[in-house]
C-alpha cells in the first residue's frame, strides 16, 4: 500500500463510486446529478474504466459501487462488473430496477455482487410522480424477483412522510426485503432546485476512505461533491489523485464548514459498504 492511496485523514481509501453514465430511463425530480433520457456516457472508455479498476485493486481498495444515471444502460457495464469481480473486488450496482436484462440477472447472482435501489412509495401514482415515468410496477416486480433469486439487495425509501414511509417499508417487507433504509432528498443536482451546491449540505466526512469518478474521469470526494474537482483519471494515476494536495485540501475544506444538518451519518459515508445505511444514489 503506497502513501499516495491514503486520504487526508490517513485512512485507506476503501470505496470508489464509479459513475458510469448520466443516461437514465427516468427523470427523477430530485436526481443529485441531473441524469435522464438525454444524458450521455461521457468521455471515459471501456479501457479507461478497466484501468481504474486495475489501479483500485492494486491500491487495496475493496469495494466499488456502479452508479449513474442507470449504470446498466452503459454498453460496457457487464464487462466492467465482471472485470471488478475478476480482480477480487466487491461490487454493488445501484439501479432503478426498471429494466433488468437476463444477462444482468446472471451477473447479479455472482459472488461478491449486491444490488441497491430506491423506492418512493407503496402507491404507484406517488412513486411514478417522483420519477416521471410509470415505473412502479416494473421496479416492484424486479425487487420481488431479486429476493426470489437470492440476490443481495438493499432498498432506500426516499423523501416520503412518516405514514407513507411506514407503508412503503411494510410493502417491501412483504416482498421479503430485509435491508431497508430511509433517506431524504439531498440538495444537489435537480434536488437543489436551481441553487448552487453548498459544502454545508455535505456531511463533512466526504473523501475519508471514499472517492467518486464521473463519466468524464473527474474525481471528487463523493458523489454529492462533484463540484469539488480533485483530478482526472484520464490525466493522472488514481493513487496520485487520492493522495494528492487537491484531495487533502477538499476534505479539509469540507470538514471545516459548519454543517446545515442535511446529512449527518453516524459513520463515515460509505454507501454499499457493509454496515452502512447511507444512500447517496438518491
pLDDT digits (tens, 9 = 90+) for 21-62: 999 999 998 888 889 999 999 999 999 999 999 999 999 999
- Range in 1-15, 73-87, 143-157, 225-239 the model is least confident about: 1-15
pLDDT score at 259: 57
**77-86 helix and 46-58 helix, angle to the nearest 10 degrees:** 20
As separate numbers, helices (DSSP H) first and strands (DSSP E) second, the chain gives: 8, 9
List, for residues 158-174, the tens digit of each pLDDT value. Answer: 876 788 899 999 999 99
Query: Read out DSSP for 94-115?
Result: E---S---HHHHHHHTSTTEEE
Q: Cβ distance 32 to 188 under 8 Å? A: yes
Here the cell at position 119 is: 423506492
Q: In degrees, to the nearest 5, what angle opens at C-alpha 275 toward C-alphas 272 and 279?
A: 40
What is the per-residue pLDDT for 252?
87
- Read off the C-alpha cell for 64: 466499488
Distance CA 56, CA 54 (A): 5
The answer to whether residues 121 and 168 touch, using CB atoms and an 8 Å cutoff, is: yes
Average pLDDT (127-135) is 93
User: Measured between alpha carbons, how far is residue 237 from residues 42, 51, 220, 255, 275 in Å?
Assistant: 19, 9, 14, 25, 30
Closest CA to 227 of 260, 261, 192, 259: 192
Mean pLDDT score, 169-189: 90
Percent of the chain with pLDDT over 90: 65
pTM above 0.85?
Answer: yes
Give the distance, in angstroms, between the CA of residue 52 and the centroid of all CA atoms in the same chain. Answer: 16
Residue 206: pLDDT band (50, 70, 90) is confident
Instruction: Mark residue 81 as left, alpha or beta (left: phi above 0; alpha: psi -120 to 50; beta: remaining).
Output: alpha
Specify the pLDDT at position 1.
39
Half-sphere exposure of 113 (CA within 13 A, CB side): 24
Can you list the positions of beta strands (E) in 44-129? 63-67, 90-94, 113-119
Q: How many CA atoms lie within 13 A of 25 on its CB side?
A: 16
User: Residue 192 corresponds to which cell in the numbers above?
Assistant: 437543489
Residue 7 has pLDDT above 70, yes or no: no
Find, among 207, 247, 244, the residue nearest to 224 by Cα. Answer: 207
Q: Residue 199: is its pLDDT beyond 90?
A: no
| Residue pLDDT, tens place only, 215-271 | 999 999 988 888 899 999 999 999 999 999 999 999 888 877 755 554 544 333 444
Res 265: pLDDT: 41
Amino acid at each position: 500500500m503506497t502513501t499516495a492511496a491514503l486520504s487526508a485523514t490517513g485512512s485507506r481509501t476503501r470505496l470508489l463510486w464509479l459513475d458510469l453514465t448520466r443516461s437514465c430511463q427516468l427523470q427523477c425530480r430530485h436526481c443529485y446529478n441531473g441524469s435522464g433520457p438525454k444524458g450521455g456516457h461521457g468521455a471515459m472508455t471501456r479501457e479507461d474504466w478497466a484501468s481504474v479498476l486495475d489501479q483500485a485493486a492494486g491500491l487495496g481498495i475493496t469495494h466499488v459501487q456502479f452508479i449513474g444515471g442507470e449504470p446498466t444502460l452503459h454498453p460496457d457495464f457487464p464487462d466492467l462488473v465482471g472485470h471488478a469481480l475478476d480482480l477480487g473486488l466487491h461490487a454493488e450496482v445501484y439501479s432503478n430496477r426498471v429494466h433488468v436484462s437476463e444477462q444482468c440477472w446472471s451477473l447479479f447472482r455472482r459472488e461478491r455482487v449486491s444490488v441497491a435501489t430506491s423506492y418512493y412509495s407503496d402507491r404507484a401514482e406517488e412513486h411514478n410522480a417522483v420519477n416521471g415515468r410509470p415505473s412502479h410496477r416494473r421496479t416492484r416486480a424486479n425487487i420481488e424477483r431479486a429476493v426470489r433469486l437470492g440476490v443481495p439487495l438493499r432498498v432506500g425509501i426516499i423523501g416520503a412522510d412518516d405514514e407513507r414511509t411506514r407503508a412503503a417499508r411494510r410493502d417491501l417487507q412483504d416482498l421479503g426485503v430485509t435491508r431497508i433504509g430511509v433517506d431524504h432528498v439531498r440538495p444537489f443536482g435537480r434536488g437543489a432546485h436551481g441553487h448552487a451546491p453548498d459544502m454545508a449540505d455535505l456531511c463533512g466526512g466526504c473523501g475519508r476512505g471514499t472517492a467518486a469518478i464521473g463519466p468524464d474521469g473527474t474525481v471528487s470526494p463523493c458523489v454529492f461533491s462533484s463540484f469539488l474537482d480533485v483530478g482526472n483519471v484520464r490525466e493522472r494515476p488514481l493513487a496520485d489523485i487520492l493522495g494528492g494536495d487537491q484531495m487533502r485540501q477538499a476534505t479539509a475544506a469540507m470538514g471545516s464548514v459548519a454543517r446545515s444538518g442535511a446529512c449527518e451519518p453516524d459513520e463515515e459515508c460509505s454507501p454499499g459498504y457493509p454496515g452502512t445505511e447511507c444512500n447517496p444514489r438518491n
